[in-house]
Amino acid sequence: MSNLSSVIKSIQDIMRKDSGVDGDAQRISQLGWMLFLRIFDEKENDWEATDEDYKSPIPKDLRWRNWASDEEGMTGDELLGFVNNSLFPRLKELKPRNNKDIGIMVRGIFEDSYNYMKSGTLLRQVLNKINQGIHFTTGADRHQFNDIYEQILKDLQSAGNAGEFYTPRSVTQFVVEMVDPKLGESILDPACGTGGFLVNAIEHMRKSEVIDSPIKLEKLQKGVRGVEKKPLPHMLASTNLMLHGIEEPSISHDNLLNKATTAWTSGERVNVIITNPPFGGMEEDGVENNFPLAFRTRETANLFLYLITHVLKDGGRAGVVLPDGFLFGEGVATRIKEKLLLECNLHTIVRLPNGVFAPYTNIKTNLLFFEKGKPTKDVWYFEHPYPPGVKNYNKTKPIVIEEFDLEKKWWKKRMENEFAWKINIKDLKERNFNLDIKNPNVGAREKQLTCDELLNELSLSFAKSNAYLEQLKAELK
């Protein structure tokens, strides 16, 4: 498995020859369902070895080992016919044996998946590459594949709008470390994308506590839940959690904004929410009616922030990625911020610099950390600086976890410095809850801007203007 990266690349090169596969997003989706079945088959080997009563939810002839693993097996029109006329239709209509059957997850994966390839010969070549190059015989194999899978997810950044489903690993890791989810707590990502926050939560809990008993393993398995409305990231998130030892990933293919806030019961509330909700987009007509009248808007990020404060238990903790537009937003956004500060202790806002989410978006983002149950008295701000010599982040030079050492060292011994400052709730009320507060510890200073820096400043200015326009459109709906 030492050449796994080249295996994935060669698979994508084969797909580029197929006239039915158009663009990176379709290639990743095509690879996604095949990797899911391959990984699921490997997991079934483990389950069969440890549980003599295990029975696969997938019909025998549809299991990977019985149609895909033989390099001399079906090919050409026969293979294409089997995949299009048998595999997909039957998995889409898979009947679970009970309400806990893992077959529910398999069916959910395939309900919105498609076989884009039109050449059965090229499809066979792809299957053979997967069989030859991807194995899970050792822990090292699995760990290496996790790294490659992470790279596949990063490729989404160049796949048009699909890039919205990927949050840089350094950001998810830092947020999880600061929120500190614990084994036995209920952990939710209501807009989980490809599962990055949840995977980091799983890894964090395993580092914090040895999972050395069936009871602890069950707590880990049942404590982590994600929801994703788009089919491609839903499939990738389910596979991602399986790769990280979650045998039955609880990833719902749904949109939590479609659930009326009055329908949430106390038993459905959670201890921890870690998420990067979609921003800059609008929900379909009618979704806002699931929220109280004073908080109705179609702006996705605002609705999710309201939902998060509603779904957290008292004492619950959250780490949320939000754009600058939320901080300075008015109208409904102001009322949501007022509710947040009244019901939760918004103790920290980490202001990220431009380019963290490049190339998907140049909108500046922020990390909000809060705890429900006590009102906010003071909000600490921390302006994350670029590393020395760095003018902007990009795809080849992304933000890395080591940069957050500044915040980590400051976190438990907070003092104002060149990066950190504190604002009292009284001052925020006088500002009509505008949270877009610049660093007062950096004096205004003249400097000669390079062309790149000037373009960057213009890009930020246009982004902020567009955010105001989108907010105005939403309010006028």
Alpha helices in 224-331 (DSSP H): 231-243, 300-311, 324-328
Q: N- to C-terminal Cα distance for the chain?
A: 54
pLDDT for the residue 279: 78
pLDDT of residue 452: 61
Tens-digit pLDDT profile for residues 345-370: 999 999 999 888 876 677 889 999 99
Higher-scoring residue by pLDDT: 404, 461: 404
User: How does DSSP assign 155-222, residue by residue?
Assistant: HGGGSGGGGGG---HHHHHHHHHHH---TTS-EEETT-TTSHHHHHHHHHHHHHS---SHHHHHHHHH
pLDDT value of position 448: 44
Provide the mean pLDDT of the chain. Answer: 86
* Residue 110 DSSP one-character state: H
> Which 8-state DSSP code applies to residue 357?
T
Output the pTM of the full model: 0.84
Query: How large is the average pLDDT for residues 61-83?
Result: 95
**Res. 454: pLDDT tops 70:** no
Q: Which of these ranges, 137-141, 325-329, 371-375, has the smallest mean pLDDT?
A: 137-141
More confident site: 241 or 281: 241
277 or 450: which leads in pLDDT: 277
Average pLDDT over residues 228-249: 86
**pLDDT of 267 above 80:** yes
| pLDDT tier for residue 404 given thresholds of 50, 70 and 90 | very high
Query: What mean pLDDT comes out for the span 93-101?
Result: 80
- How far is Cα 71 from Cα 55, in angstroms, rounded to an integer? 26
Q: Is the peptide bond before 359 cis (omega within 30 degrees of 0)?
A: yes
Average pLDDT estimate for 18-47: 88
> Average pLDDT of 239-244?
85
pLDDT of the residue at 297: 87
* 133-146: average pLDDT: 61
- Mean per-residue pLDDT for 192-211? 91
DSSP label at 386? Answer: P
Closest to 145 (Cα-Cα) out of 348, 269, 8, 281: 8
Higher pLDDT among residues 325 and 465, named by residue: 325
Q: Is 459 exposed, middle or buried (0-12, 13-18, 19+ CB in 10 A)?
A: middle
Q: What is the mean pLDDT of residues 213-230?
A: 91
Sheet with 187-189, strands from edge to edge, namely: 251-253, 224-228, 187-189, 270-275, 312-323, 365-372, 344-351, 378-383, 420-424
**Could you report the per-residue pLDDT of 81-92, keeping only the tens digit for each?**
999 999 999 999
pLDDT at 163: 42
Higher pLDDT, 212 or 424: 424
Q: How far is CA 473 from the centre of its chain?
A: 27
Lowest mean pLDDT among 149-158, 245-254, 305-314, 456-465: 149-158
pLDDT in tens, 302-334: 999 999 999 999 999 999 999 888 899 889 999
Lowest mean pLDDT among 283-287, 293-297, 453-457: 453-457
Question: Is it the case that residue 143 has pLDDT exceeding 60?
Answer: no
> Which percentage of the chain shows pLDDT scores above 90?
52
State residue 232 phi and psi, 5-degree precision: -65, -55
pLDDT at 167: 82
